[in-house]
Amino acid sequence: MRKWPYLVAPLGVLLAVLLGILAYYHERDTREGFYELGDTAAADRVDVSVYVQRVDAPARELVLQLHITPRGAFSDHGDERAAGRNLVVDSSSVATAPLRFTAGERIPAKELRIPLDDGVVSDFPFDRYRTTLYFEVTAGGSPVPTTLSYADHDPFFLSRVVSGAAEDGGVSADLLIKRSRSTFILAWFQVIVMWALALSVLAGALHIVRRGLGMIWPALGWMAATLFALVGFRNAAPGLPPIGSMIDYCAFFWAEAVITLALVLVVVKGVRQKS
């Protein structure tokens, strides 16, 4: 009896796990990018820190957590999180009015929603979006030197700063947002699995019909279970893309049609054979 399969199988599993761990750490380092714009060496400035909480593709919004940190002459030296002067922070958000902070007031973190440009969520998993972050800080009507730091914490999307500019009182960054690698891999895995299951059911149906086996109830139960199981499997797609997305036209609709036809074929042939 050959014993080499008992050695090769564990080694193959170990190799797959190691490759998976390496791929995970590579994606984690790639996903959590950090960018800075503006003159961070200036003593008197306001730092605007932006953390991406999530990309709401159906609502076409980028949900951010905003931290404002005044430095030097613009800070309250008794509290580094408090403003030393009255500050007004305007942004590219169309849903939020300019933020106003009074001198001596501690500045809390704020949630900000930025509209996404371009991109269609039904293109999943190939959908891409663009948007522009813009912040302008003024104190007493005068522009304040501003820096922008940007960090991405959404596990389902990968956003990158493709260009940026900083000037007195204002800083802007153009973003490109696309699905993360893990989301892309899972979407393609779902496409492959749906087609594999559909073709398996079709092959089983053709085998039953060609051999004239009639209606085999366990086989019919398996086919029906596969038909309904694919609905839940499709709904497990990351981000819950709407029905009618590209993944549906590539696999889900076809898989459901093939399984349904295979099931009906077995039933019709079985009924004719019994009659």
Tell me: do 173 and 192 sit in the same domain: no
| Residues contacting 6, CB < 8 A, separation 6+ | none
Give this prediction's pTM. 0.81
As for how many domains the chain has, the answer is 3
Tell me: do 53 and 133 sit in the same domain: yes
To the nearest whole percent, how much of the chain has pLDDT over 70?
A: 94
Looking at the predicted structure, is the pLDDT value of residue 80 above 70? no
Tell me: do 221 and 166 sit in the same domain: no
Q: CB of 80 within 8 A of CB of 90?
A: no
Calculate ∠ Cα 77-80-84, nearest 5°: 55
Tell me: do 90 and 155 sit in the same domain: yes
Last residue of a domain, one of 133, 163, 179: 179
What was the pLDDT predicted at 22?
A: 84
Last residue of a domain, one of 162, 179, 196: 179
- pLDDT digits 0-9 by tens, 164-183: 888 777 899 999 999 988 88
Tell me: do 65 and 127 sit in the same domain: yes
Looking at the predicted structure, is the pLDDT value of residue 25 above 80? no
Tell me: do 41 and 166 sit in the same domain: yes
Tell me: do 138 and 207 sit in the same domain: no
Rounded Cα distance between 162 and 183, Å, is 22
Domain residues for 210?
183-274
Q: Please, which pLDDT band fits residue 32 given cuts at 50, 70 and 90?
A: low
Average pLDDT of the chain to the nearest whole number: 87
